[in-house]
Structures are given as structure tokens and as C-alpha cells.
């Protein structure tokens, strides 16, 4: 990194630190279609101790009706200039909130950027690899049917390489598992306890992520949510990637068994 670029990043980081120094910061990161927004809305309900809806204010900034919780969505996709502008123009909201949730998607654990200079809690969103693949493929199909080219949900080598980076979780991250969260109240309460929270309110389908790739804003059954990969026909290139020796360790036993039965 050049001296000029390094200096610019340091200045930007200092500005962001100043603007977000007040609230408790939750940093949430995961692959797209992993349940990132399900977690964020659930976390918001727990923070507010009631059902709370995150309403869009500008770009990727959302806020609850109480003003206690502010959410900055997918900060890694905004230009640095635009990100700083959003923070500055909404500095009073951020100054007065109690909780700030910042999310990044499709980034590895070493993603280091001035947009996320500090946090109180860092949470990695984990979901069954085949379910994430199925959800991304269905989302791409939906966009294609609308005549829209879309690359942010690619299922390619880069996607699997990023997942591989998360195979070893950094010690400063808590891991939230989508499938366990769906089926187990005990798991939900134990996870909340790790965050020193206690109110478990399952949110409605998220608007930020566009809802489910399969059912939109309609809430799926538990069985459907746990086995999305059974609802998609994987093409040979996808099968080749999923079964590549390098990436096989990312799969759980149920996924391995499914692929053996459905080569």
C-alpha cells in the first residue's frame, strides 16, 4: 500500500472512530444468503427487548422507531466516499443510538477496512454450505428471469475460497449457526446469553435481504429451510466444485451423504 493511500485510510479510520465512538458496536459478517439479515433482525429484537422493525433511512442505513438501534448494511459494497458521507450526514442518529450494527458480506475473516475500525462483538454467520449454494443459485435464477444480470451471488472458486478462510474461526468471533437457530430455543437463549442479552423474539422475513430466495416474504417451514439443497438441481460444474477435494471439508455429514445418493 502506498504512503498516500495508507495515510488516506488512517484519516478515514480516525473519522469513522470519532463518528461511532458512542454506541455498542456489533460487527456481523457472513456469506450472502446465509441468514445474515435473519440474525440482524433477531439481534435487534433482543437489543430493543421487543419486536422492532429496522426502517430504511438512506442508502444502507436503517433505524428502529425508538432510535436505539442503527444498522449499516453491507458496508463493504459502498465506496469509501459514500460511506463517510452517510455517516457524517447521520452523525446525530448514530451519536444518540445505543447500539450500532455493521455488516459485511462475502468477505473473509481478515477483511480489514476503515469502515469497521472497532467493535464490541463480532459474529460470523454460518449456514450449511449446500443450503447457501442452493439459495444463491435460486436467487440468480430469479434475477435472470427478470432480465437482470447479477454477480454478487456467484457460486464460483472465489466463493469457496472465502468459505475456506472461515474454516478456522478467529478467536475474537462468535459463530452463529443458522440451522441450529431455526430448530432450538435452547441454542437461541444460550447464544443471547453470550451477548449478555435474553429476549428471544423470532423476526419476520427480512426486507433488507429481499426475504427468502425461495419463498420471498412468506415464512418457510422448518423442514424447507433446513433442506434447500433438495429443492435445486445442481449442475455438473457446481457438483465438481462442491466435491473438490480441497472443499470437501466444508461439508457436514448430511451434505456428504446427500451428494453420494444424488451424484
pLDDT at 51 over 90: yes
pLDDT at 254 over 80: yes
Most confident of 156-160, 215-219, 223-227: 156-160
The pTM of the full predicted model, rounded to 2 decimals, is 0.91
Q: Give pLDDT, residue 217.
A: 58
DSSP element (H, E) containing 104: strand 99-105
Cell (9 digits) for 24: 455498542
SS3 247: coil
Q: Give pLDDT, residue 146.
A: 82
Number of domains making up the chain? 1
Containing structural domain, residue 126: 3-261
Euclidean distance between CA atoms 32 and 42, whole angstroms? 17
Q: Residue 212 phi/psi, 5° resolution?
A: -75, 145
Q: Which of 2-6, 24-28, 84-88, 243-247 has the lowest mean pLDDT?
A: 2-6
Q: Is the dihedral of CA 73, 75, 76, 81 positive or negative?
A: positive
- In tens, the pLDDT along 113-163 reads 899 989 999 999 999 999 999 999 998 888 888 887 777 889 999 999 999
- Whether the Cβ atoms of residue 20 and residue 141 lie closer than 8 Å to each other: no
Q: List strand residue ranges (DSSP E) for 140-210, in order.
A: 174-177
> In this structure, what CATH number is given to the domain that contains residue 64?
3.40.50
Q: Give pLDDT, residue 43.
A: 98
Amino acid at each position: 500500500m502506498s504512503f498516500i493511500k495508507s495515510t488516506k485510510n488512517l484519516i478515514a479510520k480516525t473519522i469513522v472512530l470519532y463518528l461511532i465512538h458512542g454506541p455498542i458496536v456489533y460487527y456481523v459478517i457472513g456469506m450472502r444468503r446465509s441468514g445474515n439479515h435473519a440474525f440482524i433482525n433477531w439481534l435487534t429484537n433482543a437489543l430493543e427487548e421487543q419486536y422492532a422493525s429496522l426502517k430504511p433511512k438512506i442508502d444502507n442505513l436503517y433505524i428502529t422507531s425508538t432510535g436505539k438501534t442503527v444498522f449499516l448494511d453491507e458496508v463493504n459494497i459502498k465506496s469509501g466516499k459514500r460511506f463517510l458521507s452517510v455517516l457524517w450526514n447521520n452523525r446525530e442518529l448514530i451519536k444518540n443510538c445505543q447500539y450500532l450494527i455493521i455488516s459485511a458480506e462475502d468477505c473473509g475473516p481478515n477483511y480489514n477496512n476503515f469502515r469497521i475500525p472497532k467493535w464490541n462483538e463480532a459474529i460470523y454467520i454460518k449456514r450449511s454450505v449446500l443450503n447457501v449454494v442452493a439459495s444463491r443459485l435460486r436467487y440468480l435464477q430469479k434475477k435472470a428471469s427478470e432480465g437482470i444480470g447479477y454477480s454478487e451471488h456467484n457460486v464460483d472458486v472465489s466463493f469457496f475460497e472465502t468459505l475456506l478462510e472461515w474454516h478456522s474461526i478467529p478467536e475474537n468471533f462468535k459463530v452463529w449457526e443458522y440451522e441450529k437457530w431455526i430448530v432450538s430455543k435452547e441454542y437461541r437463549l444460550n447464544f443471547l446469553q453470550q451477548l449478555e442479552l435474553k429476549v428471544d423474539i423470532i423476526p419476520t422475513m427480512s426486507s433488507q435481504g429481499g426475504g427468502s430466495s425461495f419463498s420471498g416474504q412468506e415464512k418457510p417451514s422448518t423442514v424447507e429451510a433446513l433442506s434447500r439443497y433438495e429443492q435445486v438441481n445442481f449442475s455438473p460444474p457446481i457438483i465438481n466444485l462442491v466435491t473438490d477435494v480441497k472443499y470437501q471439508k466444508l461439508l457436514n455429514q448430511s451434505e456428504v451423504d446427500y451428494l453420494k445418493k444424488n451424484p
